[in-house]
Amino acid sequence: MTSDDRKPGRHSRRPLTADEHALWSHVTRSIMPLRRPRLEPKLEPATAEPPVERPKPAPAVPAPRSRVARAPGLAPIDRRFKQRLARGREGIDATIDLHGLTQAEAHSALAHFLRRARADGARLVLVITGKGVRTDDFTVDRGVLRRQVPLWLRSAELRDYVVGFDWAHPAHGGEGALYVRIRRRRE
């Protein structure tokens, strides 16, 4: 098998020729070894002083866990409960309509309404936000309150009053209203 008959990619095990050996020797003489980082030698102290004993740090005592008041999580309103609401088998304890209010007015009214509903022992309330404004070209601009009220209900400020919420059934306003479950007061 000659060198031309070999398959590409296969290494041959033949010895180097004299010319190849001379070339390899020339290449290896011209290379410099890589620099290794110099390690600083440890110096012994010149005088034989006894080592100074440093006080050992006190063992770490875990700090007592502070009870930071976390806002409770939200639970969605289950499908069966929504069905009972739509069929009239469950009642809505109170309703607030936020139409025509500015964001600041609506936020204040919603917070006051939820506090009052909880104090009255309400279990479920209906918050009407509206669906938005329909323009002449039949595009719907989703209302500001429709977008903001779910964010407010998730906020830490109102989380103490809200167990969960979901969009209302079409009979109660559909996507322009929210069912809100009220958290019970702790005695």
Residue 83, helix vs strand vs coil: helix
Q: Tell me whether residue 141 is in a domain.
A: yes
Whether pLDDT at 69 is above 90: no
Average pLDDT over residues 153-163: 89
The pLDDT confidence band at residue 89, using thresholds 50, 70 and 90, is: confident
Is this prediction's pTM over 0.85? Answer: no
Burial of 182 from C-beta contacts in 10 A (0-12 / 13-18 / 19+): buried
Domain extent, residue 104, equals: 79-182
Residue 117: predicted pLDDT: 93
Mean pLDDT for 88-93 is 87
User: In 3-state terms, what secondary structure has residue 11?
Assistant: coil
Determine phi and psi for 26, rounding to 5 degrees: -65, -40
Residue 42 has pLDDT above 70, yes or no: no
pLDDT at position 40 over 80: no
CATH number of the domain that residue 129 is part of: 3.30.1370.110
Hey, what are 127's tokens? Answer: 């918050």
Residue 63 in any domain: the answer is no
The answer to the question of residue 155 being in a domain is: yes
Total structural domains within the chain: 1
Higher-pLDDT residue of 75 and 128 is: 128
> What's the CA gap between 179 and 128, in Å, rounded?
9
Which amino acid, 9? G
Task: Please report whether residue 58 resides in a domain.
Answer: no
- Mean of per-residue pLDDT scores for the chain: 79
The proportion of the chain whose per-residue pLDDT surpasses 70, expressed as a percent, equals: 69
CA 182 to each of CA 1, 97, 157, 165: distance values in angstroms, whole numbers, following the listed order: 90, 17, 14, 9
Specify if 41 maps to a domain: no
pLDDT of residue 74: 79
In a domain, 169, yes or no: yes
Query: Do the domain assignments include residue 19?
Result: no
